[in-house]
Amino acid sequence: MDQTPQALFNPQAADARVLGVLQPELQDLPELLRTWSKPTPLRVSSGGTTSRAAASGCWSLDLSAHGPGVAWDGSNATVRFGAGCRVGEVLEALVPHQRTIAAGLSGLPGLGYVLTGGMGPLSRRFGLAVDQLKSLNGVWGSGEPFQLERSSHGQTAEWRGLCGAAPFLAVVTEVELATQELQPLWVQQSIGTPHQLADWIESAEHTEAGVSLQWHWDEPDQLRCLQVRCDPAPDHSRIEGLHQLPPLASPPPAQPRLHAEVVGLLGPANAASWRRLLPDLQELMAQRPHPSCTLSAQQLGDATAQIAARETSFVHRDAVWKPWITAVWPAGDADLRHRSLAWLERVWQLMHPVCPGVHLAQLHDHLPFHRDELAQAFGPWLPSLRELKQLRDPRGILPPL
């Protein structure tokens, strides 16, 4: 069962000294989890962007080889896909049916995109990826298999836990999502200065739900902006759907090999506070320890706010902005790693009053701020989530909560 690991997308995961890689057939998964007696937690990979899919001193559970693929169900306009599929493949598979899903900014993430919330340029119109879930199949950390449907289990703690906190509770093998009609979009890519950012944020907070702003601050004096609209507008280019979305940022250079950590924050509409914050943020951007350290954001609200906080583990339903801070260092450079992570924490601290929530898209149980991050991600739901973990993953086979 232990095989050579597949090439991992995330360089930090790829460079980890893992104890071994497990690539079980899906039917063997319950037995594997039930009887696992080697070091825990297992690091799970669905084969997408692979952050924490492998870690030194841990075993990796690689689901990418035996996932069930993509299946469109025209009878109820849903799509099923499993571990091993990337969001981009799902989007492409739906194009012939003139359908799409609430995908993110990149087609590269896999099932983890859905399980951790899943937000993208159409979130204001259609909601988060977890809001589209119709059913979930998988195996709890205890080894017990499950098949849950929103129609019968949508009010249970189990359903709520899996919608946004699944990586702590279960290995999900397949999801079924509602789809939306594929419609053309209009996009505008532009470059601006930090001084313009407050105006962009203020005007974005007043646009209708069919418009979203995402920005990427990658030079002290320069930001990239990507506006996506559901209706035509001057100076915007037409694309046929999210499968043709241009990138917000250029990919990081392959050499030197870079490692990174990303913390995602969540905050309500608050353009005035953003404006007050900008001079200090600009100073921190000028002090970046590495040129690939960046700050970016995507816009939420409207449809994402229509779901009650108690329904999913994504509790920050008032969030309108999801900024994410990326700390980067050359692989093996312990000093720069230390300085980059310290920089990330300074930016986070500065932004905390404006963005008090966390979007837990990447796990950081190896970093000192993991517990704070959990508290800020799950808020008052965290104690019940921990009880659920005790019930469904009592031996801590999956990452700690």
Q: What are the residues binding ligand FAD (CB under 6 A)?
A: 43-53, 63, 83, 104-106, 108-113, 115-120, 166-167, 171-172, 361-363
Taking the complex as a whole, how short is the minimal distance between the CB of residue 195 and ligand FAD, in angstroms? 26
Taking the complex as a whole, how short is the minimal distance between the CB of residue 112 and ligand FAD, in angstroms? 2
**CB-CB contact of 119 with 128 (8 Å):** yes
Tallying the residues shown for the chain, one arrives at 401
Taking the complex as a whole, how short is the minimal distance between the CB of residue 154 and ligand FAD, in angstroms? 19
Q: CA-CA distance, 295 to 182, in Å (whole number)?
A: 31
Taking the complex as a whole, how short is the minimal distance between the CB of residue 356 and ligand FAD, in angstroms? 18
DSSP code for 143 = S
Taking the complex as a whole, how short is the minimal distance between the CB of residue 130 and ligand FAD, in angstroms? 10
Short-list 141, 132, 140, CA closest to 175: 132
Which stretches within 166-292 are classed as H helix?
Answer: 194-204, 271-286
**CB-CB contact of 174 with 81 (8 Å):** yes
CB-nearer residue toward ligand FAD: 55 or 353 = 55
Which stretches within 80-193 are classed as H helix?
Answer: 87-94, 111-115, 123-126, 150-153, 157-165
Q: CA-CA distance, 173 to 170, in Å (whole number)?
A: 9
Residue type, 392: R
Which stretches within 50-156 are classed as H helix?
Answer: 87-94, 111-115, 123-126, 150-153
CB-nearer residue toward ligand FAD: 52 or 339 = 52
Taking the complex as a whole, how short is the minimal distance between the CB of residue 142 and ligand FAD, in angstroms? 14
State the pairing for strand pair 294-299/20-22. Answer: unpaired
Taking the complex as a whole, how short is the minimal distance between the CB of residue 236 and ligand FAD, in angstroms? 20
Residue type, 106: S
- Residue 400: count of CB within 10 angstroms of its CB: 15
CB-nearer residue toward ligand FAD: 128 or 354 = 128
CB-nearer residue toward ligand FAD: 66 or 275 = 66
CB-nearer residue toward ligand FAD: 66 or 236 = 66
CB-nearer residue toward ligand FAD: 171 or 377 = 171
Coil, strand or helix: which one is 372?
helix
Short-list 306, 315, 320, 204, CA closest to 267: 320
Q: Which two tokens stand for residue 384?
A: 């019940």
Q: CA-CA distance, 236 to 42, in Å (whole number)?
A: 45
Q: CA-CA distance, 120 to 242, in Å (whole number)?
A: 9
Taking the complex as a whole, how short is the minimal distance between the CB of residue 86 and ligand FAD, in angstroms? 7
Taking the complex as a whole, how short is the minimal distance between the CB of residue 63 and ligand FAD, in angstroms? 6
The beta strands (E) that lie in 58-205 are given as: 59-62, 70-73, 78-82, 99-100, 133-140, 145-149, 170-178, 180-181, 185-192
CB-nearer residue toward ligand FAD: 156 or 193 = 156
Taking the complex as a whole, how short is the minimal distance between the CB of residue 375 and ligand FAD, in angstroms? 19
Q: CA-CA distance, 198 to 249, in Å (whole number)?
A: 20
CB-nearer residue toward ligand FAD: 53 or 90 = 53
CB-nearer residue toward ligand FAD: 78 or 173 = 173
CB-nearer residue toward ligand FAD: 111 or 293 = 111
